[in-house]
Amino acid sequence: MTIETGPAHWLRLQDRVCVVTGAASGIGRAIAEVLAAQGARLALLDRNAQLLEDVARQLGTHERPAIAVPCDTASEDQLQQAALRVERELGAAQTLVNNAGVLRAGSLGALALDDWNLVLSVDLTGYWLTARAFGAQLRAHRHNEGASMVHVASIAGHFPQSHSGAYSAAKAGVCLLSRQLAVEWGEDAVRSNVVCPGMIRTPLSADFYAQPGVEQARAAATASGRVGEPQDIAHVAAFLASQRSAYVNAAEILVDGGMSSKLMDMVPRPGFSPAR
């Protein structure tokens, strides 16, 4: 077995056509930035056309283009048009990162049906529709090194998060959707994996973390002692997108700073918990 060395583009993503949804901000933007730094050719999808154009302009170069494709991933028609444009301008997509998402807070007893349907349509059905829209392009790589899908779910897909409406249910669905895609499309050399972020600081949560004591309390709930950043997710997603993870399929990687391993430390145990 030959072990390759050298820091330059170790992930071997140069010129790979990568599609990232929800790419205008937060985790999606961070993933796009890491892929661009690795030399990928980017197709960026988001409903926010202005922010998307800004990101594409900042990340794209003449040799490694990044195109902005305004798109609502809950719309099958818009996704089909987006897929046609990507193939026409960049070539057949070899990596798809499903990341677009929404959240509508509320207890299940009081949540409006429209809010439930909206979250499912973007956070779960949208992932399936996006995979299907780009499926033929991904499968077209079956005779070379294959293709990859990376789906951004959440730790909430494994642990209920009260008063978050349909979010936990949708993210749990993403995890099983990914495994089913891996089983059904594996024979065409398409891998499908999930990244499950824990607590990540994004522009949408900036005001939340600005409240006194919130960041300290959340950081203390993790084994790493800090709140995560979008780049923490982006680097894992880039690895799963690359051929360096060629035998990783139908997997779920929890990126939560060890928060899920501190459950027993949250339960009072007199005589066991050291004084702080």
pLDDT of residue 275: 56
Say which residue, 66 or 205, is predicted with more confidence: 66
Reply yes or no on whether the pLDDT at 7 is more than 60: no
pLDDT at 272 over 90: no
pLDDT at residue 265, rounded to an integer: 85
Count of beta carbons in the 10 Å neighbourhood of residue 173: 19
Percent of the chain as helix, strand, coil, to the nearest 5: 45, 15, 40
67-121: per-residue pLDDT in tens?
A: 999 999 999 999 999 999 999 999 999 999 999 999 999 999 999 999 999 999 9
Band of residue 269 on the pLDDT scale cut at 50, 70, 90: confident
Confidence label for 168 from pLDDT (cuts 50, 70 and 90): very high
Residue 15 vs residues 66, 137, 139, 254: alpha-carbon distances, Å: 11, 15, 18, 28
Compute the distance between CA of residue 88 and CA of residue 67 in angstroms, rounded to an integer.
Answer: 12
Are the beta carbons of 242 and 12 closer than 8 angstroms? yes
Residue 1 has pLDDT above 60, yes or no: no
Residues 6+ apart with CB under 8 A from 173: 120, 124, 157
Confidence of residue 5 (pLDDT cuts 50, 70, 90): very low
The predicted model gives 233-241 an average pLDDT of 98
pLDDT recorded at residue 123: 98
Rg (CA), the chain: 19
In angstroms, the CA 233 to CA 151 distance is: 11
Beta strand segments in the chain, E: 17-21, 41-46, 66-70, 95-98, 147-152, 190-197, 252-255
pLDDT at 251: 98
CA–CA dist 211, 15 (Å, integer):
43
DSSP 115-141: HHHHHHIIIIIHHHHHHHHHHHHHHTT
Which carries the bigger pLDDT value, residue 5 or residue 199? 199
The per-residue pLDDT for 10 is 86
Catalytic residue among 127, 167, 209, 247: 167
pLDDT digits (tens, 9 = 90+) for 22-56: 999 999 999 999 999 999 999 999 999 999 999 99
Read off the pLDDT band of 172 (50, 70, 90).
very high
- Please report the pLDDT score of residue 234 as a whole number: 98
pLDDT at 268: 81
What value does the mean pLDDT of the chain take? 94
User: Which phi-psi region, left, alpha or beta, contains residue 68 (left: φ > 0; alpha: ψ -120 to 50)?
Assistant: beta
Per-residue confidence at 206, pLDDT binned at 50, 70, 90? confident
Q: Please, are residues 97 and 152 in contact by the beta-carbon 8 Å criterion?
A: yes
103-112 tens-digit pLDDT: 999 999 999 9
Give SS3 for 38. coil
pLDDT of residue 4: 47
Query: What's the pLDDT score for residue 8?
Result: 54
Whether residue 167 lies in the annotated active site: yes
Q: Tell me how far apart the alpha carbons of residues 189 and 185 are, in angstroms, rounded to a whole number.
A: 7
User: What is the distance between the alpha carbons of residues 213 and 162, in angstroms, rounded to a whole number?
Assistant: 21
User: Which residues, in sequence order, are CB contacts of 72 under 8 Å at separation 6+?
Assistant: 47, 78
